[in-house]
Amino acid sequence: MSNGYPLQGINLSDTRELNSLVEHRRVFTLNHCELNIFETYQQCSDVVLSYDGLVVTSMLRGKKVMHLSESPGFDFLPGETVILPEGISMKVDFPEADERHPVQCATIALNWSVVTGMLDFLNETYPRQADGSDEWALNFNQYHFYNNRELANVMNKLISISMEDNLAKDALADLTLKSLLIRVIQTQNMALAEDGLPINNRFAAVVEYIREHLTEKIGIDTLCRKACMSKSGFFRSFKETFGLSPMEFVIRERINLAKRLLMNPAATVSDVCYQAGFNNLPYFSRLFKMLEGVTPTTYRQQRVGFRLE
């Protein structure tokens, strides 16, 4: 089970009307992007896929095993996204697919010239640093990551626009594509922070301090000093980088710690609440459900099958 935020479901095709049970494709074409809904209904392996331009693909149901170049294969599950640059092909295995357990994913493909134009627009109109030292850019080393709620929301919106019958949908999609690129970059930065920011990153010391003091009161003034930035500059740059305010980031880190602590069946939800740095159980439970979609109790039951007394 993935730790990512799942996308909304899309109805499956009627298998009686399909000409293929492997990566059956429904296409929705717009001016600047193409949405593909792929479905597989039988076990198979070494299915080769390739695209022109940028590919953003998210799992909707089932499991794939992805193989990119010479890298080891990895499981690709609902709640996760993969991005690929132009000219990269992949091999895909479907070890569990059948008509009762279909595999479905949504893939958005953009021409690289469109991506470059949008990134140039963002860097010219909304520069992250006045001197241009920190640009909006995709990181293809961080190509597989968990969805957060913000990325899932913009993916759902773009899928919905692509599939609707609306004369204005190309204009709506163009506006949403910029949001998609921003959310992908911010989600990649969050994933990079999970793995450990490089020491020369301006927020490396900030993230390290937050993680070392999660159970304590964390003040903004202290974080600004760690970043060597003014309060206004710190707030703006931090949110542009991660898509979250510093305090929202702290809350996400505490919830992530709580998720790890919930794997211990000896700890009650109340224990986990306080050990993760929260001091109010109802507040913790509300936040957890808002961010994870389920209560702490349900989360633990889903992960370890443990039922609280």
pTM score: 0.76
Q: How far apart are the C-alpha atoms of 274 and 224, rounded to whole Å?
A: 26
3-state secondary structure of 208: helix
Cα-based distances in Å from 75 to 9, 93, 195, 306? 20, 9, 18, 25
pLDDT band at 307; cut points 50, 70, 90: very low
Q: Is the pLDDT of residue 267 over 80?
A: yes
Q: Is the pLDDT of residue 130 over 70?
A: no
Domains of the chain: 15-195 (2.60.120.280), 204-304 (1.10.10.60)
Q: Is the pLDDT of residue 131 over 70?
A: no
| 210 or 193, greater pLDDT | 210
Asked if residue 2 lies in contact with residue 78, where contact means CB atoms within 8 angstroms, the answer is yes
What is the DSSP code string of 134-198?
S-----TTS-EEE--HHHHHHHHHHHHHHHS--TTHHHHHHHHHHHHHHHHHHHHHHHHHHH---
pLDDT tens per residue across span 151-206: 999 999 999 999 988 889 999 999 999 999 999 999 888 888 877 777 777 888 99
pLDDT tens per residue across span 62-74: 999 999 877 788 9
Average pLDDT of the residues in 25-34:
93
Residue with tokens 């304590």: 216
3-state secondary structure of 109: strand
Q: How far apart are the C-alpha atoms of 98 and 116, rounded to whole Å?
A: 39
pLDDT, mean over the chain: 88
Q: 220-227 vs 246-261: helix axis angle to the nearest 10?
A: 100
* pLDDT value, residue 126: 84
pLDDT tens per residue across span 85-118: 877 878 899 999 999 999 999 999 998 999 999 9
